[in-house]
Amino acid sequence: MTVLLSLRGLHKAYRGDAAPFALDVPAFDLAEGEALALAGPSGSGKSTLLMMLALATPPDAAEEFTFAGQDITRHWRAGRRDALAELRARCIGVVPQTGGLLPFLTVEGNIALTQRIADRPDAARVRALADELGIRAQLGKRPAALSVGQRQRVSIARALAHRPSLVLADEPTASVHPELADAVLALLKRECAAAGAALLVATHDPDRAARAGYPVLVCETHAPGADGIARSVFARAPLAEAA
């Protein structure tokens, strides 16, 4: 089992207008090709953690943050945002809550966007993903002409089009009908497995994720202590210890 992502002592705090909040990750490993659900109530830091894993926002502190063989902590400390952006473009796919499709592009253009950014054009893969996800007939349409479920499938195809090693899905069932939610989770898991990509899904519904076959990591939430800071903790035994 090869570790793709490893976190130790990661910390992120917010002290803005909202109540003070801190997210802590004492230890967390994810293997290549592994699927996992991160569960917790709204506001528990799931999206914040995904943003850090997407290399879009830095942690305040991290003893270790490695991804795809690179020292992410060192990149952040050195201000190497170009290196982080390149790594994100090549190795990470993101499925946002609301789809995040560009309205002025066709479905085909939206799916191919990650390929263009990563400089990996592959029209055949775009069509193959569209076939797999049942949206081949929609390739020439704009997002506004699609149903909510179709837009979500386009987002999944876009996240996989450039063959990333990691896919991050932030509440991918939040905007779909409950009857479609199970299908979306199963679809994500199946497509990532077929592509050999690791998958992290943030959800507020651990039971639904478990039914879809995901191991579930539930965050620990702690009310404000003497310092007035509420905390969420995501902790997972290192893979070497869990084996």
CATH number at residue 80: 3.40.50.300
pTM for the model: 0.90
Counting the structural domains of the chain, the total is 1
Measured between alpha carbons, how far apart are the two ends of the chain, in Å? Answer: 9
pLDDT (mean) for 104-123: 96
Report the amino acid identity of residue 150.
Answer: Q
- DSSP H/E element including 77: helix 72-77
Contact (CB, 8 A) for 146 and 154: yes
Rounded CA separation 197/214 (Å): 14
Over residues 124-139, the pLDDT tens digits come to 999 999 998 889 999 9
Report the length, in residues, of the chain.
243
Q: Residues 32-69: pLDDT tens digits?
A: 999 999 998 877 888 899 999 999 999 999 999 999 99
Domain range spanning residue 54?
A: 3-242
Residue reference for tokens 């995904």 = 50
